[in-house]
């Protein structure tokens, strides 16, 4: 009981309640509650989180009425001590056990270099996305004649002040210097593709504590980019980084969605392959999971087998972007790849060669 109540003291509990994605995912589960046990368990867990403060208050009332509240200062240290000893104790094994596999050690210096790189890259993405959002507003809405657009000037000053201006390639500098309202639609769409890597950087640097699954993530919001333009220190000064386990879990989830949607796309004939084995694999996966409400992956409130062609294509692109970016981060961490010296969205530099293994 005390362990549950201790959870109320954690910031993660209250962050989960005020997080927009929590309620977006709850709405998706509510639409599937009648046919998917995973949705039911998700809503049950969310309901318990919501009721936990009520249970805590009721429990305090009972303690006050019974007089046992005076024992609480002694009970809390005792419970903490018991839990601490239980974590330390290990089960006894009669037969020898193999050594557990440990992930590669990452030095503090490597993490700090990567945090610095991602902070600057994230701010560059934020500036470009903020400009793309501003361009959409200017082109879609008529502004009063006395309103001056200052996005271009603000962005250039920010990039120069942080030293990022000298690290971006000429094509991107030229795009930032174009007069406000003069980006064409292809330029806006191309820059908007950075929304997923930008959100991943926010999660990697712990600016955002939660990363939704590909199929349960809401559409990109340009306000996320504008936030960092106003307070760039959130990205530039952070030295926190996700754990290796969280990184591996996110990469695994992206792979699951990519290959599941790819199999569905091949099976429906949206993509053609000359490889018979790959075609047979896609048919087997799609047939086995078709209509399985409790097993198939979901895109929004639909199963992958129920999604239309556009939804499947979008999820393939989204999951592939996440998978590629997280693979790069893993390569930077384990030393298989070197950090780029320049940033670009419009004209990427040649990918650096893998580091030579010793």
In a domain, 89, yes or no: no
In a domain, 325, yes or no: yes
Q: Which residue is listed with tokens 């939804």?
A: 311
DSSP states along 277-290: HHHHHHHHHHHHHT
- Residue 73 pLDDT: 58
- Residue 136 pLDDT: 87
In a domain, 121, yes or no: yes
Residues 248 and 324 in one domain: yes
- Residue 80 pLDDT: 52
In a domain, 269, yes or no: yes
Q: Model pTM?
A: 0.75
Residues 149 and 256 in one domain: no
Residues 164 and 274 in one domain: no
- Residue 97 pLDDT: 46
DSSP states along 198-229: HHHHHHHTTSSS----GGGPPPP-HHHHHHHH
Q: Is residue 212 within 8 Å of residue 15, measured between CB atoms?
A: no
Mean pLDDT per segment of 10 residues, for the chain of length 358 residues?
A: 49 62 75 80 77 70 63 52 48 45 64 92 96 86 58 92 94 92 91 94 92 81 91 91 92 94 93 87 92 87 92 93 95 88 74 42
Residues 201 and 293 in one domain: no
Q: Domain range spanning residue 34? A: 2-83
CA distance 149 to 138: 9
- Residue 79 pLDDT: 47
In a domain, 340, yes or no: no
Q: For 31, what's the count of Cα atoms within 13 Å in the CB-facing half-sphere? A: 12
Residues 271 and 328 in one domain: yes
In a domain, 346, yes or no: no
Residues 120 and 197 in one domain: yes
CA distance 274 to 272: 7
3-state class (DSSP) for residue 176: helix
Q: For 27, what's the count of Cα atoms within 13 Å in the CB-facing half-sphere? A: 9
Render the burial of 254-276: b for 16+ CB within 10 Å, e for the rest: bbbbbbbbbbbbbbeeeeeeeee
Residues 149 and 77 in one domain: no
Residues 113 and 231 in one domain: yes
- Residue 28 pLDDT: 75
Residues 181 and 258 in one domain: no
Number of domains the chain contains: 3
- Residue 93 pLDDT: 44
- Residue 96 pLDDT: 47
Residues 143 and 174 in one domain: yes
In a domain, 348, yes or no: no
Residues 179 and 118 in one domain: yes
CA distance 245 to 104: 11
In a domain, 267, yes or no: yes
């Amino acid at each position: 009981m005390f362990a549950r109540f201790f959870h109320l003291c954690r910031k993660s509990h209250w962050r989960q309640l005020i997080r927009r994605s929590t309620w977006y995912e709850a709405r998706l589960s509510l639409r599937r509650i009648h046919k998917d046990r995973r949705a039911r368990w998700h809503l049950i867990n969310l309901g318990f989180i919501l009721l936990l403060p009520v249970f805590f208050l009721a429990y305090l009332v009972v303690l006050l009425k019974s007089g046992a509240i005076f024992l609480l200062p002694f009970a809390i240290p005792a419970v903490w001590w018991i839990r601490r000893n239980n974590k330390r104790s290990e089960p006894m094994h009669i037969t020898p056990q193999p050594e557990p596999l440990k992930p590669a050690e990452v030095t503090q210096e490597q993490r700090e270099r990567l945090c610095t790189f991602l902070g600057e890259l994230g701010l560059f993405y934020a500036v470009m996305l903020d400009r793309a959002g501003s361009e959409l507003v200017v082109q879609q809405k008529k502004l009063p004649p006395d309103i001056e657009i200052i996005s271009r000037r603000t962005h250039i000053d920010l990039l120069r002040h942080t030293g990022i201006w000298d690290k971006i390639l000429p094509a991107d500098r030229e795009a930032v210097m174009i007069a406000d309202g003069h980006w064409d639609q292809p330029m806006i769409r191309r820059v908007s593709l950075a929304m997923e890597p930008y959100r991943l950087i926010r999660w990697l640097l712990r600016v955002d504590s939660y990363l939704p699954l590909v199929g349960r993530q809401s559409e990109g919001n340009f306000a996320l980019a504008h936030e960092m333009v106003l307070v760039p220190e959130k990205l530039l000064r952070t030295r926190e980084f996700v754990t290796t386990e969280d990184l591996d879990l996110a990469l695994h989830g992206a792979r699951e969605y990519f290959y599941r949607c790819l199999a569905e796309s091949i099976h429906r004939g949206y993509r053609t392959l000359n490889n018979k084995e790959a075609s047979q694999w896609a048919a087997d996966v799609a047939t086995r999971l078709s209509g399985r409400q409790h097993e198939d992956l979901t895109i929004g409130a639909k199963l992958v087998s129920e999604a239309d062609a556009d939804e499947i294509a979008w999820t393939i692109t989204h999951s592939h972007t996440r998978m590629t970016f997280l693979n790069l981060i893993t390569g930077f961490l384990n030393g298989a790849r070197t950090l780029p010296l320049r940033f670009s969205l419009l004209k990427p530099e040649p990918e650096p060669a893998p580091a030579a293994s010793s």
